[in-house]
């Protein structure tokens, strides 16, 4: 009689398939097929039932010192598991009984501790509770998100914040606190088909266990708008709770249909004080007795300013500082210089747009120093000089405009120079143009006039008003016969080009879009015009 090998890896064969369930329920001790040579079978509890059956084996010595038997293979059987039970991921390779059992949980904990120690400092210092999250009021004691979690009403949401502000950590803590199953995906590496499978698994898990599933999608903005449609149905039906994380403005990067189904929470940039607190925790954890002498509070404040509100960056730099500070010849100044070789600037993120916006506004405000600062910051961080030159062409017409018509040719020439000679020489042309623009007089007459005309077209009936007949083109005989172009007065034929002639449609006669002033009329309450003997023209 061959028997059937137990799928729980106890190493024994059961008399028949019908007895397999009872064998497994007994902790792999019943219905074992006796070996043909007459020796007793090995009664070794399955690892799956180790805790449950450790006291039920009457002769533990049999598990430690089995009778001589032919060598058995430790490879898992191809027989499918009974009663839906899955065999462990790894079969024991060496040793039997108590030795293997003693190494179980303790061995795994030791391995986890080793893995934890080898992880980067930023990973090791992740908060384990919501109370440990620093610098985000949303999950603070009075935070709106904290309240929703406490009431077990976690909605689908978009977490919008810069790098290192805690998006991933908060998502994990939400799932842990709410007792939900968490599945983490990244838009850069998880395809649509894989996401569909996750939704099916989530539905099955909920039907089987009643647990909700939270799908955390990091960098959700990396999915195309068509790909984002995959989330609509499952989110709307409550099949899953979606937590999407993005560093980009979701108004531009996430489809409206998904935005309407999710709540958007903005994670604020961490303050220097919060960054110092986070780094101090790391110092206390890594050096509970005495930290390196170079890693003092002044040094942590220096790193917090450099990290630009990014806790991950701060902790990564701090970890490097721990290593460098061990060198016997290291000084505080050398350590700081070693850690601050590059600027914090993301060419593809919000800082890319923030820097060019600040550059534009500095020129508009006639602040040449600020314009040069932001120009240098962008160039140092590898910004495309043509991108900056294109913005200068826009500034020439939008902000300087009619006050100095020579600035537009200068901007075009600057763009051509950047195109022809490239970096690093192109930086000089960009600086020349930027300072010239900052010092030039400003006029927004043309820009504001166009804006007024565009606004007028929004009024009912204004966009389709008939063009006066005398202004219409008359290339054919028929058009001339019906009056197109008739009675038009060609201005160059008249003295000083002056004629009495209407150019706007009849219903818009007398409308003015172009103002007489180059700039606006508002007074800045922060300026004491009388003390500075400035008399604004009104």
C-alpha dihedral (440, 445, 450, 454), degrees to nearest 10: 120
Q: How confident is the model at residue 329 (pLDDT cuts 50, 70, 90)?
A: confident
Same topology between domain 136-266 and domain 350-443: no
> How far out from the chain centre does Cα 474 lie?
58
pLDDT tens figures, 213-238: 999 999 999 898 889 999 999 999 98
Answer whether 380's CB lies under 8 Å from 427's CB: no
Instruction: Please tell me the number of Cα atoms within 13 Å of 54 on its side-chain side.
Output: 11
Would you say residue 536 has pLDDT above 60?
no
Top-confidence residue, 70 or 437: 437
All residues at 6 or more sequence positions from 263 whose CB lies less than 8 Å from its CB, including other chains: 155, 156, 157, 158
Question: Which CATH class, in words, describes the domain spanning 136-266?
Answer: alpha beta
Q: How confident is the model at residue 34 (pLDDT cuts 50, 70, 90)?
A: low
pLDDT tens figures, 484-506: 878 888 888 888 888 888 888 88
Would you say residue 47 has pLDDT above 60?
no
Can you give the residue ranges of every domain in the chain?
Answer: 1-118, 136-266, 272-339, 350-443
Q: How confident is the model at residue 415 (pLDDT cuts 50, 70, 90)?
A: very high
| The CATH number of domain 350-443, selected from 1.20.272.10, 3.30.70.3450, 1.10.10.10, 3.40.720.10 | 1.20.272.10
Q: How confident is the model at residue 343 (pLDDT cuts 50, 70, 90)?
A: very low
Rg of the chain taking only CA atoms, in angstroms = 37
Determine which of 34-48, 136-150, 233-247, 374-388 has the lowest per-residue pLDDT on average: 34-48
User: What pLDDT does 35 receive?
Assistant: 44
Answer whether 283's CB lies under 8 Å from 295's CB: yes
User: What pLDDT does 440 receive?
Assistant: 94
């Amino acid at each position: 009689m061959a028997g059937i090998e137990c799928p729980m890896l106890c190493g024994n064969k059961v008399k028949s398939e019908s007895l397999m369930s009872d064998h497994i329920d007994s902790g792999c001790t019943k219905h074992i097929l006796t070996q043909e040579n007459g020796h007793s079978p090995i009664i070794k509890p399955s690892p799956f039932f180790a805790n449950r059956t450790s006291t039920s084996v009457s002769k533990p010595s049999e598990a430690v010192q089995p009778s001589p038997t032919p060598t058995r293979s430790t490879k898992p059987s191809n027989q499918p598991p009974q009663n839906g039970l899955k065999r462990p991921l790894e079969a024991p390779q060496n040793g039997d009984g108590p030795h293997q059992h003693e190494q179980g949980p303790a061995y795994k904990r030791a391995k986890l501790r080793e893995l934890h120690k080898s992880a980067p400092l930023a990973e090791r210092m992740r908060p384990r509770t919501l109370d440990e999250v620093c610098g985000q009021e949303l999950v603070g004691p009075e935070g709106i998100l904290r309240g929703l979690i406490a009431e077990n009403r976690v909605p689908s949401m978009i977490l919008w914040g810069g790098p290192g502000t805690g998006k991933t950590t908060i998502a994990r803590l939400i799932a842990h606190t709410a007792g939900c199953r968490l599945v983490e995906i990244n838009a850069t590496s998880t395809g649509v088909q894989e996401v569909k499978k996750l939704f099916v698994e989530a539905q099955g898990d909920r039907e089987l266990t009643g647990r909700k599933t939270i799908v955390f999608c990091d960098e959700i903005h990396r999915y195309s708008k068509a790909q984002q449609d995959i989330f609509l149905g499952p989110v709307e039906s409550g099949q899953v709770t979606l937590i999407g994380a993005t560093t980009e403005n979701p108004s531009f990067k996430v489809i409206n249909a998904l935005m309407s189904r999710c709540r958007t929470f903005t994670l604020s940039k961490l303050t220097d004080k919060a960054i110092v607190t986070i780094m101090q925790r790391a110092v206390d954890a890594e050096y509970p007795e005495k930290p390196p002498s170079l890693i003092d509070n002044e040094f942590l404040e220096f790193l917090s300013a450099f990290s630009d509100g990014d806790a991950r960056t701060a902790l990564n730099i701090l970890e490097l500082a721990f290593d460098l500070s061990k060198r016997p010849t290291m000084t505080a100044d050398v350590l700081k210089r070693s850690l601050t070789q590059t600027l914090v600037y993301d060419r593809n993120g919000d800082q890319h747009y923030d820097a060019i916006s600040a550059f534009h506004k500095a020129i508009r405000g006639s602040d040449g120093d600020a314009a040069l600062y932001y120009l240098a910051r962008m160039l140092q961080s590898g910004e495309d000089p043509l991108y900056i030159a294109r913005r200068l062409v826009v500034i020439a017409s939008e902000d300087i405009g009619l006050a100095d018509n020579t600035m537009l040719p200068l901007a075009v020439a600057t763009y051509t120079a950047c195109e022809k000679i490239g970096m690093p020489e192109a930086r000089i042309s960009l600086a020349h143009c930027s300072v010239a623009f900052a010092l030039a007089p400003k006029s927004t007459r043309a820009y504001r006039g166009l804006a007024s005309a565009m606004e007028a077209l929004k009024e009912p009936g204004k966009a389709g008003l008939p063009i006066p007949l005398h202004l219409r083109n008359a290339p054919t005989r028929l058009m001339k016969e019906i009056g197109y172009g008739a009675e038009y007065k060609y201005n160059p034929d008249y003295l000083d080009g002056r004629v009495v002639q209407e150019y706007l449609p009849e219903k818009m006669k007398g409308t003015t879009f172009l103002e007489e002033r180059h700039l606006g009329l508002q007074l800045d309450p922060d300026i004491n015009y009388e003390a500075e003997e400035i008399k604004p023209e009104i």
